[in-house]
Amino acid sequence: MKKAILIILCILFCLTVPVGAVNSLTATLSVGTGTPEMPPQNASVYISEAKAAVADRNWTSALLITTRGTTWYPDDADLLCLQGYSLRKMGQYEKSIDVVSKAILLDPQPVRYANRGYGYLALGNYSAALTDAETGISLNANYTTTYGVKALALDGMGKNPEALVAIDQALALDPENAHYWHVKGTILAASGNCADAKEVLERSLALDPDYALPYPGFISARENLVTLTSTCTPAAVPATAVPSPTKSPAGAGIAVGGLIGALFIAGMRK
């Protein structure tokens, strides 16, 4: 009898472990994001919570929320895009590109191409970033972020004049954007226009000195400004040709010859 009671107690004890584990998991998932038995009706709960985490620059929280959300909704492009964005902000560029690529296949939008484009920029793949930027612009010419990606890609390829055109297009659409002024400052510095670069970087800092940078390795406007004097080499001014004082220009010789000829003819007529 005692053995039977002991066996029953052991069974009951063992059963409490998985039940407790399930309750713990349920409690974790039920904070506005559903339960294992009943997930949310749609992905909007995860999306809104992830956006709130992004607004707070809590990339870890945003990644956890979107990862949980994509468990229930693996084909939601918005969730995938937010997940890829969070991964990029945490320096996981290749994973970010893979996730955002899935979102693009599901729903190609300019924001997704810009998102992936910044991932390519972080890896130094400027040609891929430029392709994404131009694709995004072709979908919506008024979406400014793609112009920023395009400018940085062209700058990375050493095409500074084209990069300035691209970033000026972004600023024409969004003139109060600190990031775009920052990008323009770096392009001007790379072009050797140090004075204008300083002015533009100062404008970026005046607008928002602590805006969220696209990825961890992106140098801030404040750092760019501090190191400007040592990193910016003024562009060389083209030398102007100075005529030799001992050599008359060919045109002057022709003019003198013509004058002498005219005087000779006039003398013959007198």
Contacts of 65 (CB under 8 A, 6+ apart): 33, 46, 49, 50, 53
Rounded Cα–Cα distance for residues 153 and 151 (Å) = 5
Q: What is the pLDDT of residue 230?
A: 86
Q: What is the pLDDT of residues 197-241, one digit of tens each?
A: 999 999 999 999 999 999 999 999 999 999 998 889 887 665 555
For the chain, domains (ranges, CATH) are 40-107 (1.25.40.10), 126-233 (1.25.40.10)
| Rounded mean pLDDT, 176-189 | 98
C-alpha triplet 112, 212, 189: angle, nearest 5°: 95
What is the pLDDT, as a whole number, of residue 229?
A: 85
The conformation of residue 219, written as its DSSP 8-state character, comes to P
pLDDT for the residue numbered 43 = 85
Q: How confident is the model at residue 34 (pLDDT cuts 50, 70, 90)?
A: low
* pLDDT recorded at residue 243: 55
Upper half-sphere CA count for residue 269 (Cβ side, 13 Å): 6
Mean pLDDT, the chain, rounded, equals: 83
Predicted confidence at residue 39, as pLDDT, reads 72
| pLDDT tens-digit map of 104-151 | 999 999 999 999 999 999 999 999 999 999 999 999 999 999 999 999
Task: Please give the average per-residue pLDDT across 175-202, as a whole number.
Answer: 97
pLDDT at 119: 98
> Cα angle at 132 between 55 and 179, to 5 degrees?
40
Position 240 scores a pLDDT of 58
CA angle, 160 then 162 then 167, to 5°: 90
Indicate whether 170 pLDDT > 60: yes
pLDDT value at residue 179: 98
Q: What is the pLDDT, as a whole number, of residue 5?
A: 45
- The amino acid at residue 269 is R
* pLDDT tens per residue across span 51-106: 999 999 999 999 999 999 999 999 999 999 999 999 999 999 999 999 999 999 99
pLDDT score recorded for residue 63: 97
24-43 mean pLDDT: 54
pLDDT value at 19 more than 50:
no
93 CB-near residues (< 8 Å, 6+ apart): 87, 119, 122, 123, 215
